[in-house]
Amino acid sequence: MHIGFHTDAFNSAYFSFEACLEWAQSNGVHFIECGLIDGVSWIHGLGYQPHVALYEDPVLLRQKMDRYDVRFSQVDAAYPLSGKDGPLRGVPYVMKSIQWAKLIGCSKVDTTDGMAPPEGLSDEAAMDLMKRSYEQIIEVAQAHEITVNIEPHGHFTTRPEMMERMLDFCDSPLLRLNMDTGNTFIAGQDPVAYLRQFIDRVSHVHVKDVSESLAAASRGEQTGIAVSQCALGDGANADNIRRCLEVLRDSGYDGVLSIECEGQGGAMIEKSLAWVRRTLQELGISSHNTPKEQ
> Helices 91-104 and 123-144 sit at what angle, rounded to 10 degrees?
30
- 294 pLDDT tier (thresholds 50, 70, 90): very low
SS3 219: coil
Please write the tens of the pLDDT for every residue from 27-54: 999 999 999 999 999 999 999 999 999 9
Query: What average pLDDT is seen over the chain?
Result: 96
Q: Which CATH architecture has domain 2-282?
A: Alpha-Beta Barrel (3.20)
- 288 pLDDT tier (thresholds 50, 70, 90): confident
Amino acid at 191: P
pTM of the entire structure? 0.96
pLDDT at 72 over 50: yes
Percent of the chain, pLDDT > 90? 97
C-alpha distances (whole Å) from 48 to each of 7, 17, 72 are: 12, 9, 20
Provide the pLDDT for residue 291: 55
Please write the tens of the pLDDT for every residue from 105-143: 999 999 999 999 999 999 999 999 999 999 999 999 999
Percent of the chain, pLDDT > 70? 98
Provide the pLDDT for residue 289: 60
- 290 pLDDT tier (thresholds 50, 70, 90): low
- Which residues have a Cβ under 8 Å from the Cβ of 7 and sit 6 or more positions away? 15, 17, 20, 32, 33, 34, 35, 50, 51
